[in-house]
Structures are given as C-alpha cells and as structure tokens.
Structure 1
C-alpha cells in the first residue's frame, strides 16, 4: 500500500473534509479526491461518506485511521528529526486556552525544558476547546488542553485538574452584596453590580448562576474582554463583578484587592483535559511532556 495514499487518507480523516486536507497537504482538492478513490479501489471498500459539508468516515475508514495514524506520525517524526545525534532535538506543539496555558501549563513545561534545553523545544498556540481539538486532530498540535473531552477513538484525553470558580469584585461592592454573602436570597442585589465577562453570552457568570443559584443572570455584560486576565484587571479596578478561576484571583484576594461576593457550600468546578492523538504517546518527547504535566497538575488547586 502506498504510504502517500495513507498519509492523504489520515489527513482527510483528521480534517473532516477534502478541501481542508488539501490545504494541509499543499495539494489540490481534485488530487486529494483522486488519491482517496485510488485507496478505496485498492481496499475494495468505501472509506468516507461524502456529505454536503465535508466527509464522515465509514466504520472501515475509522478502523484504518486508528491503526495507521500512530505509525504515520512516527514516520513523520523520524523524517523530521533524522537518525543522527546532531538532529535529535524534539519540538513539542502545545495548544490550549490562553489564560490556563500561560499561567499554568507553560510555566510547568519550562521546568521540563530547563532540564533538557538542548534536545527539547516548545511551540504554543491559544484557542478555545473546539479549535484546539480540531488542530490536534489535524496534526497541528501534539498536546491540547481544554475543557471538552473529545469523542471517538482518534483522540485520547486524560483529566488534568479541576478549576474552582469564584465570584469576586472590588471591596467597594462588598457592602451592597452583604445579604448575598450572608446566604440570603441576594441574587437581586448581585444583579445591580456591573458584569465583566469574556463573551456576550456570559459563559462564566451563567455557569456560576446556574450551579449556585439555580437561575440565569439577568444583567447583561457591562465590560466584555476576551481574556480572563483582563476580567481580573477590570474587577480589581472596581468595574464590577466577575467569575474567575481561583488560581487566577488568588493573589488579588490575598492582598484584599478583590473580595468574594458569595461563598457556596460546593463551589462550581470545571475540569481540564489533556488530549493527544491516539498512539502518539509512543513518541518520547510527547510522552515526557504529557507525564510531566499530569505530575505537576496533581499539586494545582
């Protein structure tokens, strides 16, 4: 079986469309289509179901991808690094949400790189859960951190850590929300405080309200900034309330720049997962980074 055909097949399987696979491979879309048809004729079975938007693998297609992809990845690794000692450096491609990756994952991996800087380098990119998993499946990343567990057998995910969320604001808002902090029905008071969020849909505030108050927030976002570190800065400046990961707000809470507006018996949690393409943990540099992150994350709270 032609390895070039297998490489094209795995790329289509990961990308979910001939057009995206063609862009990744640097080929024309008709060339990709032709190669897949050739492989299907050789196997005597269809590998994909053509749809209006992209393709869906058949059962045979899924089985072939899961068997072939790890070996093709290993061959690519050999081709990129060579066999001699002078070209032994491995580059790890990591993707994840900007705040968590910058504040936790990257500092942790710095320790690993510091131990073996001659043979280990790192490239990081930021994105939401869907973007990072799509990039991982397409082969752009080696490790992806996200809050969604991937489906199917192409990607494998391991729980990394739980993130506690806290409802915070500058001290000047504390007196106005004293009823809420005493445990009474203070949601109406909280609704009077301006809301700082990362998106118009209020993903963090809405999740907190649903978990803690069994309700939906009424107030719209007053300040929308697409980074939790900016939410933190605005909250410290007194702009309103925000829902933040405790690790991100810990320093501001400790020095009194922020105060918790509510102290639920069971705080809302969000789980992060560490995902890889199935089979790629056979590659030493990916396995080392994967194991290192899991080890360090055991001390995160």
Structure 2
C-alpha cells in the first residue's frame, strides 16, 4: 500500500477536513480527495463520512488510524531525527493556556532557547489545543483536558491548587476563615465575583468540592486572563478563585487574602500532550523532558 496515501489519510483523520489536510500537506483539496478515494477503493470500505463542515471517520477509518498513525509518526521521527540530530536550530510549536504558559512553561524552556531552540507559542482552550495538536499545528500542548483516543499521548505534569481570594477589606468584612468555615457558602451569597469566563469554571469547581453546593452568584467582571482577574480582585472588585502559583506573591505581601484554607483544596492537573510518536523528534523530546524536570519544583 502506498505510504503517501496513508500519510494523507492520517492527516485528514487528524485535521477533520480535506481542506485543512490539504493545507498541512501542501496539496490541493482535489488531490487530497482523490487520494482518499483511491485508498477507499483499495480497502473496499469508506473511511470518512462527508459532512457540511469537514469529515467524520467511520469505524473502519478510526481502526485504520489507530493501527497506522504510530508507525507513520515513527518513520517521520527517524527521518527528521537524522536530519536534525538535536534540538538546536529547530522550531517548537507550543500551545497552552496563556497564564500557565507565560509564568511556568516559557521560563522553563528558556535554557533550551538559549541553546538555539526556537519557540512559537499559541494560546487556546483545552479543546482547541487538542484539535490543533491533532491537526499538526502544534508539536506540544500543555492542557488540563485529557485527550481521547490513541492518536495523542498525555503525560501528567503537575497539579494546580485553587485558592479563594479577596482584597483585605473584603476578608475583614467576612470575619476571617473561621467564620467562613462555620457558615459555609451562605456567607458568600450576594458578594461580587470576578471570573475568567461567564460560566465561572474555577469558582464552580471550588464550590462543588469545598462547599458541596452550586454557587448562587454572578460575576461583576469577566476577563479572559487569570492575571487580570488577580488584579481586579486585589483592587477590591470582588472575590475570585485563582491558582496558588499565580497569586502566591500577592498573598505573601498581603495584596490579597486567602478566605479559606480547606484541608483538601481543589486541584487541577496539567498534562503534556503530543501526537503519538512525536517524542522521537529530538527538539520535542528535549522540551518535554525539560518541562517534566522543571515541574518537580512547581
């Protein structure tokens, strides 16, 4: 069977679209369509269901991708590894959430950058990062969403502790952790909230795990960056739930105060995600290893 046809098939399977696959392969869309049809004729089974927006793999398509993709990735890794030799001079296409990437990931990769690695970073949600990784737009993604299927491989990186914080004047008004511990979530009803999204994902997780209830609150401010949430909270706009690593300095100098210290704080796990077989590429493997080593101190 022609390896070029299989490569095109795997690219379409990951991209979810003939058009996106054509762009990744440097081919025309009709050429990609023709190659997939040729492969389907050879196998005697349809591999994709055509939709209004892109394609969906059939059961046969998923089975073939599961069997073929790791071997194609390994061949690519061997080829690129021989050409590259090491990480110097290579470009790592990295993706992750903006705050964690800025404050954790990029500083950790700086030694490799000084050695010659070039990094191009992109931000996005967990679903967007997985789709971009599968489509070949990224080499390595840092995400809190575990990927499904076997085309992507995830390695746990670190846990992130969440903290309920407020400016000192709000903390004084509430009466301290002991009062809040006694009254529970009712003590917070009606207080202003600052969130990173309208759905208040961090706050809802905190309420569910600490208070065992749903929050009866709405946000007075929503800003799509946790660093901006921290600044709003510190300025007195309202309460917020933030990762401890992000607000540790502000807690240390008293700009914000932890309203509660539960015995088991809510945690969120970050993972490093790559396409299966991509760790055979030296520059991806070195970045992956570097981040795992750095995360031991996070």
Q: Which runs of 5+ in 2 are unaligned?
A: none
SS at match of 1:93: strand
Q: Does 1:163 align with 2:134?
A: no
SS at match of 2:175: helix
d(CA) in 1 for partners of 2:98, 2:106: 10
Partner of 1:14: 14
SS at match of 1:293: helix
RMSD: 2.5
Shift of 1:67: 4.7
d(CA) in 2 for partners of 1:122, 1:89: 10
Query: CA 1:128–1:84 in structure 2 vs 1: closer, same or farther (change >3 Å)?
Result: closer
SS at match of 1:185: helix
Query: CA 1:73–1:91 in structure 2 vs 1: closer, same or farther (change >3 Å)?
Result: farther
Q: Does 1:243 align with 2:241?
A: yes
d(CA) in 2 for partners of 1:279, 1:61: 19
Partner of 1:201: 199
TM-score where L is the length of structure 1 = 0.89
Deviates more, 1:289-298 or 1:2-11: 2-11
Partner of 1:290: 288
Query: CA 1:27–1:260 in structure 2 vs 1: closer, same or farther (change >3 Å)?
Result: same
Count of residue pairs brought into register by the alignment: 297
Shift of 1:44: 3.4
The residue correspondences of 1:96-175 to structure 2 (distance < 5 A) are 96-114=96-114, 116-117=115-116, 120-175=117-172
Q: Which one of the candidate residues 253, 275, 286 is aligned to 1:277?
A: 275
Kindly indicate whether the alpha-carbon contact (under 8 Å) linking 1:45 and 1:60 is maintained by their aligned counterparts in 2.
yes
Shift of 1:65: 2.8
Query: CA 1:88–1:176 in structure 2 vs 1: closer, same or farther (change >3 Å)?
Result: closer
Partner of 1:44: 44
Q: Which runs of 5+ in 1 are unaligned?
A: none
Can you list the C-alpha shifts for 1:230-279, whole angstroms capped at 9, x where unaligned?
00111111111110000000000000111011111110000111100001
Partner of 2:186: 188
Partner of 1:55: 55
Kindly indicate whether the alpha-carbon contact (under 8 Å) linking 1:179 and 1:185 is maintained by their aligned counterparts in 2.
no
